[in-house]
Amino acid sequence: MNRIKLHDKYFVPYISKDEIMKAIDRVAEHLNNDFMDSTEIPIILCTMNGAIVFAGELLTKLKFNLIVSGIKVSSYEGINSSGNIKEVLGLNTDVEGRTVIIVEDIVDTGATIMKLCENLCNRKAKEVRICTLFVKSEVYSHDRKLDYVGMEVADKFIVGHGLDYDELGRNLPGIYILDEQNTQ
């Protein structure tokens, strides 16, 4: 992994693909332990577009019956969260009486994920669990526990493995962090 440029910003390597895959393996093991012997079939709700890469890799490691659905929510504009949560592509799966496992790429302040949990509870989901590849623990500001966490990251802007900067960088296999020097 070398320094890269996306739009007008430079990014440097931060987390390798190998480290990410080990985190995904840990999350999958935890989920398998929780649901392997369950008669319930949970709904895996992938938040798009960012969690598509994580969800795709995670799903291949899960050993229990499940249903996959997706929803597109957004709060980012450029490299900053707007604080305004938008449901861009709505949920088309009935969640009433079901356990829903939200699969998210990253949780920072938690505003987006809390809004989504509230939305699912309003739709009468039996239980909502949160599964995230990354969490920015130093800025996560809610009492609600994150059920499955791949790894903690610093409160810095990152791209790769599904995370983007104005739609670029999602396809990078590792994670890159904004280069503080940001010069050519």
Query: b/e string for 84-102 if b means 16 or more Cβ within 10 A?
Result: ebeeeeebeeebeebbbbb
Structure tokens at 145: 């526990």
Question: d(Cα 119, Cα 121) in Å, to the nearest integer?
Answer: 6
Question: d(Cα 135, Cα 98) in Å, to the nearest integer?
Answer: 25
Q: How many CB atoms lie within 10 A of CB 157?
A: 17
Task: Label residue 155 left, alpha or beta by phi (over 0 means left) and psi (-120 to 50 means alpha).
Answer: beta
pLDDT at 184: 62
Angle, CA of 147, 153 and 156, to the nearest 5°? 130
pLDDT at 73: 76
> Which residues are part of the catalytic machinery?
108
Question: d(Cα 169, Cα 184) in Å, to the nearest integer?
Answer: 18
DSSP run (H or E) holding 130 = strand 127-135
The predicted model scores a pTM of 0.91
Phi/psi for 139 (5° steps) reads: -120, -5
Closest CA to 148 of 34, 64, 68: 34
User: Could you give the domains of the chain?
Assistant: 18-154 (3.40.50.2020)
Structure tokens at 61: 């490691």
pLDDT at 29: 98
Q: Please, what are the averages of pLDDT over each run of 10 residues along the chain (184 residues)?
A: 89 97 98 96 94 97 96 65 57 93 95 90 96 97 96 96 94 94 69
| CB-based burial label for 169 (10 Å; 0-12, 13-18, 19+) | buried
| Spatial contact of 11 and 159, defined as CB atoms under 8 Å apart | yes
